[in-house]
Structure 1
Amino acid sequence: METIEVFDARATARLLDFSALVEALKQATLEHAAGLIHAPVRMSVPLEDGGVFLSMPASAAEIAIHKLVSVSPANVAKNLPTIFGTVTVCDGATGQPEFILDGPTVTGRRTAALSMLGVRLLHPHTPSSFLLIGSGQQARFHAAAIGQLYPDASLYVRGLHMEAERDFCAAMNQSGVAVMSACEGKPHDIDTVITVTTSKTPVYTEAANAGRLVIGVGAFTPDAAEIAPQTVKASTVFVDDLNATREEAGDLIQAAVDWPAVRSLASASKEPVPKDKPILLKTVGSGAWDLAACRVARSAIRGR
């Protein structure tokens, strides 16, 4: 058997350009909606100390993938990463393994790229300012994506406290992405808010605003909600995966959202999006989006 190439976090990141990811994700949302990508709702089993083990397979005609990751919030106290995992990429016809990617990097970059696709399809105009609520690893991926795709936009971060904000800003500024602390910068007229926390209670409670796109990313269980119910109810709601969000999107479940009125992100590529109403995008993730990222990585590998 041939040796399977394994890409670590840094090598995986080099394969996953944000612009290419956004294009691949747009195509994947349409294929998933049409039944051309098969991706069941993720399976979850518990780990000790409140952690979970997540299995996310997906397949299309030419490619099949399996992402296996663990999420362990208690790892912070042990000075360990919260997320570990891998993505195995296989031939879609034979199932033969081709290469392995770093799971947290695939998750982080495709999640941020999915938010950027949401900005492209749902925003009432070109965004001029972003506020990230959360200062963890997913916030860093989003800041990197915003820095590449919207370099002229102002970018703020709101962490749990000022020290977290300052550390985040210092790290991102050192990487070449300009970020300002919300505590120090006092942002106003923000037109794009992205929540990237693991909070069980809402971290965004402002009234729905027709000139502001709100994207909820961090919460992916029914008991967790980053966005206040009143904000959800007053917004036109889009989701990345209708089936998955019905089971996992606590923001929507706790708000008793009107599910027949909820639209998929795929529909935004084909049908008009209201520009005069508050828009909210809720994402929980799908193996289909990991598959899209693996297509980008495979293309980059073959182009070397």
Structure 2
Amino acid sequence: MSTLPTFDAAATARLLDFASLIEALTHAAHELEAGAIRSPVRTAVPLADNGVLLSMPAAASDVAIHKLVSVCPGNAARNMPTIFGTVTVCDGVTGAPEFILDGPTVTGRRTAALSMLGVKYLYPRAPRGFLIIGTGQQARHHAAAIARLYPSATIFVAGKALASEQRFCDETGHEGIRVLPTNGTIADDIDVVMTATTSKTPVYNEPARADRLIVAVGAFTPDAAEIGPDTVRASRVFVDDFAAAREEAGDLLQAGIDWSSVQPIGAAISARAPANTPMLLKTVGSGAWDLAACRVARAAIAGRSN
């Protein structure tokens, strides 16, 4: 049996254009609601030192995928990446494996693209100011997505310390992305706040505002929450995957959210959410979004061979 084509982080990123990802995610959101994508809630297996092994399969009529990633917070002290993983892409009819993508890159770029999908449908105009809370890899992907899709917007970053903010700004600057440190102060004219941390306690407690969209993407376990409960309860809440959010969205669970009022992001795509209402998009991840990303990669690979 021949070796499967395997794409490293840089090659995977080149296959996943943000504009193409948003288009694929929009289509996948409708399919997920219609049951055309089968995507069970991820399986989590504990590892040593508070690590976790995550299994996320998904299948549609044309393609099937399996993402297997490990998240080990203790790796930071070992000078190792926090996340390792792969995504195996298979034919949807025969199940035959076709190629392998870098798991963390798929996760990072499709998560950032999903956030930008939320911006497109939950914010009434092109945002002029973004705040990213967090200075890790997921924050880097979000900065790249903003710069690609809203090049005239100003991007700020908030970290645990001023030094981490400046380091983030320097690193993104080397990639041609201009990011400014908050220096401990959130500007009043920020249109969109994006939280990309795994914090157990809220990193954003500002009052909910009708002129500011909140997108919370980092926390994905019931014991973790990035957004304060008062802010959650005062917002109209959308989620990426309803079933997964009910099990994993600590921000919402800890706030005691009324789940009858929560809607999937597909509802906002079908009919724009009303204006003058505080909006919160909470994402926990789904194999359906990985599948959408794999479709983009598959099309890009096919385009190269033609």
Which bin holds the TM-score, normalised by the shorter protein?
over 0.9
Moved more, 83-92 or 271-280: 271-280
- The alignment status of 1:83 with 2:68, answered yes or no, reads no
CA displacement at 1:289 relative to structure 2? 0.2
One-letter amino acid of the structure 2 residue matched with residue 215 of structure 1: V
Q: Aligned with 2:208: secondary structure? A: coil
2:52 match = 52
1:95 match = 95
Q: Contact 1:91–1:97 at 8 Å: present in 2 too?
A: yes
One-letter amino acid of the structure 1 residue matched with residue 128 of structure 2: S
One-letter amino acid of the structure 2 residue matched with residue 211 of structure 1: D
Q: Give distance in 2, aligned partners of 1:70 and 1:50.
A: 11
1:261/1:184 CA distance change after superposition, 3 Å: closer
Q: Give distance in 1, aligned partners of 2:2 and 2:31.
A: 31
Q: Aligned with 1:303: secondary structure? A: helix
2:228 match = 228
Structural RMSD (CA): 0.9
- The alignment status of 1:15 with 2:8, answered yes or no, reads no
CA displacement at 1:160 relative to structure 2? 0.5
2:36 match = 36
Q: Give distance in 2, aligned partners of 1:37 and 1:184.
A: 43
Q: Deviations over 1:32-51 (max 9, x none)?
A: 01000000000000000000
1:201 match = 201
Q: Deviations over 1:113-159 (max 9, x none)?
A: 00000000101221110000000110000000000000010100000
- Which structure 2 segments of 5+ residues have no match? none
Q: Contact 1:156–1:187 at 8 Å: present in 2 too?
A: no
Q: Deviations over 1:254-294 (max 9, x none)?
A: 00001001011001111231111100000000000000000
Q: Give distance in 1, aligned partners of 2:286 and 2:10.
A: 23
Q: Give distance in 2, aligned partners of 1:80 and 1:168.
A: 18
Superposed, which structure 2 residues align to 1:96-175 within 5 Å?
A: 96-175=96-175
Q: Aligned with 2:206: secondary structure? A: coil
2:211 match = 211
Q: Aligned with 1:25: secondary structure? A: helix
Q: Deviations over 1:76-125 (max 9, x none)?
A: 00000000000000000000000000000000000000000000010122
CA displacement at 1:186 relative to structure 2? 6.0
Q: Give distance in 1, aligned partners of 2:44 and 2:50.
A: 12
Q: Contact 1:129–1:190 at 8 Å: present in 2 too?
A: yes
Q: Give distance in 1, aligned partners of 2:186 and 2:194.
A: 17
Q: Give distance in 1, aligned partners of 2:147 and 2:160.
A: 22
Moved more, 35-44 or 268-277: 268-277
Identity over the aligned pairs, expressed in percent?
Answer: 63
- Which structure 1 segments of 5+ residues have no match? none
Superposed, which structure 2 residues align to 1:58-73 within 5 Å?
A: 58-73=58-73
Q: Give distance in 2, aligned partners of 1:229 and 1:237.
A: 12
Q: Aligned with 2:49: secondary structure? A: helix
Q: Give distance in 2, aligned partners of 1:67 and 1:186.
A: 36
CA displacement at 1:29 relative to structure 2? 0.6
One-letter amino acid of the structure 2 residue matched with residue 96 of structure 1: A
